[in-house]
């Protein structure tokens, strides 16, 4: 798995020891051997030829419908919750869980949990059907910045009383949690939690590192609204 870390320096006086901190979003693709998941989903890929025959509005509507169907299928198929997946990963690999994501890979649906132990990153895959650890490996950054990345994450989490599992439990009241990671909401360091609703709609929330308070991630929604525009506000 290749670990992609998005780094942003933010003011976090209220959260991290009265100073500044750096926020991270950790995720990536499978790069190591792992067992086969007990949860296998059907291929929902659409026919590209029929896509070309649709107009933009119709195509977007079908994309949204397909995404919602996929989200619903993954959320329903995962019998193991995010907190339980994190617990299983930490029982296998001691350290601090920095992210957990429900991901449909070649070997089936898995919980992909990133664990930081000292300055070493570990990727642990957990079966969402059984809670069994399917595999784990040391995950090295191609740029060789693992130690620096680890130091920044440890600094961001210093003094935090809410863990990734705690954040996932807090977000569960909003829907089925499919992802949790350490992220920047534009104002302060927080846990970012993604949920899927009953009809497949995705929502994002921030969970305070100290209080566990859950708030909507408005910044992410605003960012998505402008993804198709240049800096001057015009379309590409």
Query: Three-state SS string across 127-149, please?
Result: CCCCCCEEEEEECCCCCCCHHHH
Reply yes or no on whether the pLDDT at 20 is more than 50.
no
Note the helical H segments in 7-159.
48-52, 56-77, 82-92, 146-157
pLDDT at 145: 81
Q: Which domain holds residue 129?
A: 2-38+75-225
114 assigned to some structural domain = yes
- 212-229 average pLDDT score: 65
171 assigned to some structural domain = yes
| Spatial separation of the C-alpha atoms in residues 171 and 167, rounded to whole Å | 6
- 215-233 average pLDDT score: 56
- 53-80 average pLDDT score: 75
| Spatial separation of the C-alpha atoms in residues 80 and 165, rounded to whole Å | 13
Q: What is the total count of domains within the chain?
A: 1
Cα-atom radius of gyration of the chain, to the nearest Å?
18
183 assigned to some structural domain = yes
Phi-psi region of 17 (alpha: psi -120 to 50; beta: other; left: phi over 0): left
Q: Express each pLDDT in 99-156 by its tens digit.
A: 999 999 887 999 999 999 999 999 999 999 999 999 999 988 777 788 888 998 999 9
129 assigned to some structural domain = yes
100 assigned to some structural domain = yes
148 assigned to some structural domain = yes
Chain mean pLDDT for the chain: 76
115 assigned to some structural domain = yes
Reply yes or no on whether the pLDDT at 220 is more than 50.
yes
Reply yes or no on whether the pLDDT at 21 is more than 50.
no
83 assigned to some structural domain = yes
Tell me the whole-structure pTM to 2 decimals: 0.73
pLDDT at 61: 63
Q: How far apart are the first and last CA of the chain?
A: 32
Q: Express each pLDDT in 23-52 by its tens digit.
A: 333 333 334 457 899 889 876 443 444 444
pLDDT at 1: 34
Comparing C-alpha atoms, which of 122, 130, 75 is closest to residue 98? 122
The CATH number of the domain where 125 resides is what?
3.10.450.40
Residues 6+ apart with CB under 8 A from 101: 27, 111, 112, 178, 179, 180, 181
Q: What are the percentages of helix, strand and coil residues in the chain, rounded to 5?
A: 30, 35, 35
């Amino acid at each position: 798995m290749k670990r992609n870390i998005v780094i942003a320096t933010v003011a976090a006086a209220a959260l991290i020891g009265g100073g500044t901190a750096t926020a991270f979003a950790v995720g990536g693709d499978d790069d190591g051997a792992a067992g086969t998941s007990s949860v296998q989903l059907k291929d929902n890929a659409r026919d590209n030829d029929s896509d070309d025959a649709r107009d933009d509005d119709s195509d977007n509507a079908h994309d949204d419908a397909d995404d919602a169907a996929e989200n619903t299928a993954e959320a329903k198929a995962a019998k193991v919750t995010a907190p339980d997946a994190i617990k299983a990963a930490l029982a296998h690999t001691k350290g601090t869980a920095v992210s957990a994501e429900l991901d449909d890979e070649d070997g089936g649906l898995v919980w992909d949990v990133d664990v930081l132990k000292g300055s070493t990153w570990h990727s642990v895959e957990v079966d969402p059907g059984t809670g069994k650890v399917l595999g784990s490996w040391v995950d090295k950054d191609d740029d060789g910045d693992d130690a620096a990345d680890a130091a920044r994450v440890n600094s961001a989490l210093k003094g935090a009383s809410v863990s990734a599992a705690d954040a996932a439990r807090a977000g569960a009241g909003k829907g089925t949690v499919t992802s949790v990671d350490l992220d920047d909401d534009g104002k302060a360091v927080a846990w970012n939690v993604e949920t899927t609703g009953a009809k497949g709609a995705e929502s994002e929330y921030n969970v305070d590192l100290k209080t566990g308070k859950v708030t909507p991630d408005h910044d992410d929604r605003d960012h998505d609204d402008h993804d198709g525009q240049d800096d001057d506000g015009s379309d590409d």
